[in-house]
């Protein structure tokens, strides 16, 4: 379904597109455009692609600190996930799930099949990036922070924090979170900037802990449990990274995702304090007779813009000036939402290039 600003008219002569942000939506948009012959250039300020699907590598373990798994509802996304499975970068997980509350641990099954990246969540976006980079009309520039635009007679030029200029481009797609997109749009596209303003974001703290030995067994809980959802005011989800496909050789390592309300209230706290509180919350959910093994490493990562405060109905936005927005912030917070947003914006721009 085509989503656009009410006053948007037909764009034409779309031969080159810059995409700011190499997360799931930016990569999906780039792949859709590049496979149809449009020249695509992706830019990201991080060292690698992935966004909130990126993974953190430590000396002893690889940890997923953003999305832990994803579901499939849309048929086109289902077809894409089947391609990723065939490529070996996606596998089904988790299957041993629990819910923890004051009454203890109970099995948790909502009958929805979930997937994760293999051997890490970032394998999905790495696969997309590799596929994109293999195309002669596509490029990706990492560790490059785009700070502003200029509109010239030849098209849009992008300026980065080091003073380099990129372009010109016919269209600029921003897949960064709305607060960051709004800063780039200021002075150029007030309607798009207002749309970003109308999309408040929620933050999330993600902690991790690596142990020397496996967790001890718990009564009535399978020893290889994968995830536990909690009703704790601090901790929302605990996920065992070493149970994921391809990571069985790792030591015991757990990602600890905080509750959104707690994260918002502690968004400016220091990471060491947050990590300690997340671990303490996890420990409080264990039976009294369970003694944790020694900790190798403990830490926390802040996602200042983790997901939209509320779901929307638009998949993407664009204007006749040649500026466009995509990302999961415009519809929902799922991995599927991010992919559909970028893919459908790419399709819409292709229609307008012919």
CATH code of 42's domain:
3.50.50.60
Q: Is residue 159 part of a domain?
A: yes
* pLDDT greater than 50 at residue 354: no
Q: Give the CA count within 13 Å in the CB-facing half-sphere of 178.
A: 24
In a domain, 87, yes or no: no
- Tell whether 195 and 133 lie within a shared domain: yes
Residue 75 resides in a domain: no
Same domain, 238 and 158: no
153 within a domain of the structure (yes/no): yes
pLDDT (average), residues 117-124: 95
Would strands 90-92 and 16-20 be described as parallel, antiparallel, or unpaired?
unpaired
Mean pLDDT computed over 126-148 = 96
The verdict on 250 and 278 lying in the same domain is: yes
> Are both 337 and 214 inside the same structural domain?
no
What is the value of pTM for the model shown?
0.93
The Cα–Cα gap between 77 and 234 comes to 33
| Residue 342 pLDDT greater than 60, yes or no | yes
What residues contact residue 161 under an 8 Å CB cut-off, 6+ apart?
144, 145, 147
**pLDDT given for residue 110 in this prediction:** 86
Please say if the pLDDT value at position 171 is more than 60: yes
Q: Is residue 81 part of a domain?
A: no
Q: Say which CATH number the domain at 242 has.
A: 3.90.660.10
Q: Is a pLDDT exceeding 80 seen at residue 50?
A: yes
Alpha carbon distance 311, 104 (integer Å): 32
Mean pLDDT of 293-322: 91
Q: Are residues 63 and 156 in the same domain?
A: yes
Write phi, then psi, for 208 (nearest 5 degrees): -145, 150
pLDDT of 333 > 70? The answer is yes
pLDDT band at 8 (very low <50, low <70, confident <90, very high): very low
Mean pLDDT over 289-293 rounds to 92
Q: Are 334 and 315 in contact (CB under 8 A)?
A: no
Of 9-13, 177-181, 219-223, least confident by mean pLDDT is: 9-13
Confidence of residue 235 (pLDDT cuts 50, 70, 90): very high
Is 88 part of a structural domain of the chain?
no
Q: What average pLDDT does this structure show over 289-317?
A: 91
Q: Has residue 84 been placed in a domain?
A: no
The answer, yes or no, to whether residue 12 has pLDDT greater than 70, is no
pLDDT of residue 282: 97
What average pLDDT does the segment 209-235 reach?
95
Query: Average per-residue pLDDT in the chain?
Result: 92
State which residues form the domain around 248: 93-119+201-308
| Number of domains composing the chain | 2
C-alpha distances in Å from residue 165, one per residue of 17, 49, 145, 148, 162: 15, 21, 11, 10, 9
**Confidence (pLDDT) at 2:** 36
Q: Are residues 163 and 259 in the same domain?
A: no
How much is the pLDDT for 352?
60
Determine phi and psi for 81, rounding to 5 degrees.
Answer: -65, -35
Which residues have CB under 8 Å from 186's CB, separation 6+? 193
Model confidence band, residue 353 (pLDDT cutoffs 50, 70, 90) = low
Residues 223 and 268 in one domain: yes
Q: Are 51 and 22 in contact (CB under 8 A)?
A: yes
CA torsion sign for 292, 293, 295, 296 is negative
Is the domain of 171 the same as that of 215? no
Q: What share of the chain has pLDDT > 70, as a percent?
A: 95
User: Are 353 and 239 in the same domain?
Assistant: no
Per-residue pLDDT reduced to its tens digit, 267-277: 999 999 999 99
Which tens digit of pLDDT belongs to each residue from 60-111?
999 999 999 999 999 999 999 999 999 999 999 999 999 998 889 999 988 8
Residue 141 lies in a domain: yes
Are 245 and 297 in the same domain? yes
To the nearest 10 degrees (0 to 180), the angle between helices 335-351 and 24-34 is 30
Domain boundary among 271, 286, 308: 308
Confidence of residue 3 (pLDDT cuts 50, 70, 90): very low
Q: How far apart, in whole angstroms, are the C-alpha atoms of residue 170 and residue 156?
A: 6
Residue 131: predicted pLDDT: 95
- Same-domain check for residues 10 and 146: yes
204's tokens: 């999330």
User: Of 83, 68, 79, 80, nearest to 117 (Cα)?
Assistant: 68
More confident residue, 310 or 210: 210
Give yes or no: residues 20 and 112 share one domain: no
SS (H, E, C) the chain: CCCCCCCCCCCCCCCEEEEECCCHHHHHHHHHHHCCCCEEEEECCCCCCCHHHCEEECCCCEEECCCCCECCCCHHHHHHHHHHHHHCCEEECCCCEEEEECCEEEECCCCCCCEEECCCCHHHHHHHHHHHHCCCCEEEECCCCEEEEEEECCEEEEEECCCCEEEEECEEEECCCHHHHHHHHCCCCHHHHHHHHCCCEEEEEEEEEEECCCCCCECCECCCCCEEEECCCCEEEEEEHHHCCCCCCCCCEEEEEECHHHHHHCCCCCHHHHHHHHHHHHHHCCCCCCCCCCEEEEEEEEEEEEEECCCCCCCEEECCCCEEEECHHHCCCCHHHHHHHHHHHHHHHHHCCC
- Residues 176-197 pLDDT 10s: 999 999 999 988 999 999 999 9
């Amino acid at each position: 379904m085509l989503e656009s600003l009410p006053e948007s008219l037909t764009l034409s002569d779309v031969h080159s597109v810059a995409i700011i942000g190499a997360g799931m939506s930016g990569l999906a948009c780039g792949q859709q455009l590049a496979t149809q012959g449009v020249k695509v250039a992706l830019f990201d300020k991080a060292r690698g692609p992935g966004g909130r699907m990126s993974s953190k590598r430590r000396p002893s373990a690889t940890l997923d600190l953003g999305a832990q798994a994803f579901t499939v509802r849309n048929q086109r996304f289902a077809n894409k996930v089947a391609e990723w499975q065939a490529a070996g970068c996606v596998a089904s997980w988790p299957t041993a799930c629990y819910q923890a509350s004051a009454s203890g641990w109970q099995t948790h099954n909502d009958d929805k099949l979930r997937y994760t990246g293999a051997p890490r969540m970032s394998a999905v976006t790495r696969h997309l990036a590799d596929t994109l980079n293999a195309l002669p009309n596509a490029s990706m520039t990492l560790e490059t922070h785009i700070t502003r635009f200029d509109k010239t007679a030849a098209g849009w030029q992008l300026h980065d924090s080091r003073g380099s200029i990129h372009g010109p481009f016919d269209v600029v797609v921003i897949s960064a979170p709305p607060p960051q997109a709004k800063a780039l749009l200021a002075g150029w596209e007030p309607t798009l900037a207002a749309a970003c303003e109308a999309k408040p974001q929620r933050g999330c703290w993600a902690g991790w802990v690596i142990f020397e030995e496996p967790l001890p067994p718990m009564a009535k809980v399978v020893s290889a449990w994968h995830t536990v959802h909690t009703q704790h005011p601090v901790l929302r989800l605990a996920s065992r990274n070493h149970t994921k496909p391809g990571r069985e050789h790792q030591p015991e390592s757990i990602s600890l995702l905080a509750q959104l309300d707690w994260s918002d209230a502690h968004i400016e706290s220091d990471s060491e304090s947050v990590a300690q509180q997340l671990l303490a919350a996890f420990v409080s959910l264990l039976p009294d007779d369970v003694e944790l093994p020694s900790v190798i490493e403990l830490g926390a990562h802040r996602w200042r813009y983790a997901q939209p405060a509320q779901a929307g109905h638009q998949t993407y936005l664009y204007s006749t000036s040649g500026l466009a927005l995509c990302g999961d912030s415009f519809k929902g917070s799922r991995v599927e939402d991010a992919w559909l947003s970028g893919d459908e914006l790419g399709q819409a721009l292709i229609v307008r290039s012919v």
